[in-house]
Structures are given as C-alpha cells and as structure tokens.
Amino acid sequence: MVGTWMDEIRSDSTYDYASDWHWVTIPDGMTYDQTEKNPNGDVIMTIERLILELKSKQLSPTQEIAHLKMLVHLVEDIHQPLHVGREGDQGGNSIKLKWFGSNSNLHSVWDSNMIDGTRLSYTELAVSLGTPDKITVEGWQRATVREWATESMSFRPQVYDIGNGNLSYQYSYRYFSIAKQRLLQAGVRLAGILNEIYG
C-alpha cells in the first residue's frame, strides 16, 4: 500500500513540488550525466538524495516516514522502463494505443495494464516473481541508481515493439517477463537499501 502513496498524493496540490520526481528523460545514445538536468529534480537525483538523508539520521519522525514512502515508490518507478523515458513521448504517455480493445497508452500498459491482466493478488504476484539466488541478489544490490536507469533504457526495443498499436495477449506473452524481472529487481534493491540504512 505504501508503494502507491506518491501517486495518490498527486491530487493534493501541496505535493506539486514532487511531480517531476517520478521520471527522468535520457535520450537514446546518452547517459544521465550527459543530459540537461530538470531544475525541479528527477527520479535519479531524488532517490540518491533520499538515501543520503535517511542515512544521516537527522530527519524528524514525520520526515523519515515521508522519505521512506517516497523511496519505496521511486525505486519501483525507476525500474519501470518508461519512467526512464526517451525524448519526445512523455514516457510513453503520448503513445495512444488499444489494450484488449480499450483505449490506453504505452505507459499505462507497463505501469498497470499487464500486471492487472494477470488477476493475481499482491501475494500471488510476489510469489510468481520467484526467488533469486544469493549471487544474483548481491549483483543486483551492487548496482548504482544510475545503472538501474541504464538497465531500464536497455529494454526500449522491446517496450516500443507495438506494431499497429492493437495490443493484447501476444505483447504480454512476449514482454511481461521483463516487467516481472524489473519488479523483482526493484524489491531486492529496495531491501538492500533499507538494510544499509537500518542495518
């Protein structure tokens, strides 16, 4: 439930300052360091800042809770490939398409449509992701936030393989394994960060 908090507060204008923290644009062929930075912040700089501030132990209890809720959500977001967007399509939001005959967009397909289509509960979905071995966990947890973003970029050929824009079983069959992998990596990496902060 904590994982959706940052999306829920978008309806509260007092949190408008955080609206750009959910995403980052990195054009094809560029690295994050080569991009012009958003003065309002982005998902990479915000995750890095939240981790440092949580490790500082200088936050009030109220600030700490808010930081943790944001961290959970943003670690999820950066692992969804379209939150590390290419230039010009608003992270896939402007790519309109059909999902099983209903109007949708590419971002929504990856944010929720494919997952909702499984009709699994939270627990069932978590179990379906499997359990990585210790060496895999250690490798995933060694990667930096910026490397997570580069990984998300690497899936663009599959993500944008939408043909005529009428998506259904075939698209999900081909690419839902990527969504599951990213969910699992996000969870493993979040666990590693929390262990670093709280031991």
Outline where the chain has alpha helix (H).
Answer: 5-8, 43-56, 61-79, 106-108, 114-117, 122-128, 134-142, 145-154, 156-159, 169-198
Residues in the chain: 199
Question: What global pTM score does this model have?
Answer: 0.95
Query: Which distant-in-sequence residues (6+ apart) come within 8 Å of 128 by Cβ?
Result: 118, 120, 180
Residue 14 pLDDT? 84
What residues contact residue 20 under an 8 Å CB cut-off, 6+ apart? 38, 40, 41, 42
Tokens standing for residue 175? 């690419």
153, 84 contact by CB (below 8 A): yes
Domain boundaries, the chain: 1-199
**Could you tell me the mean pLDDT of each successive run of 10 residues in the chain, 199 residues long?**
90 90 97 96 98 98 97 98 96 98 98 96 95 98 98 98 97 98 98 96
Structural fold of domain 1-199: P1 Nuclease (1.10.575)
Q: How far apart are CA 145 and CA 37, in angstroms?
A: 16
Among candidate residues 49, 47, 42, the one with its CA nearest the CA of residue 85: 42
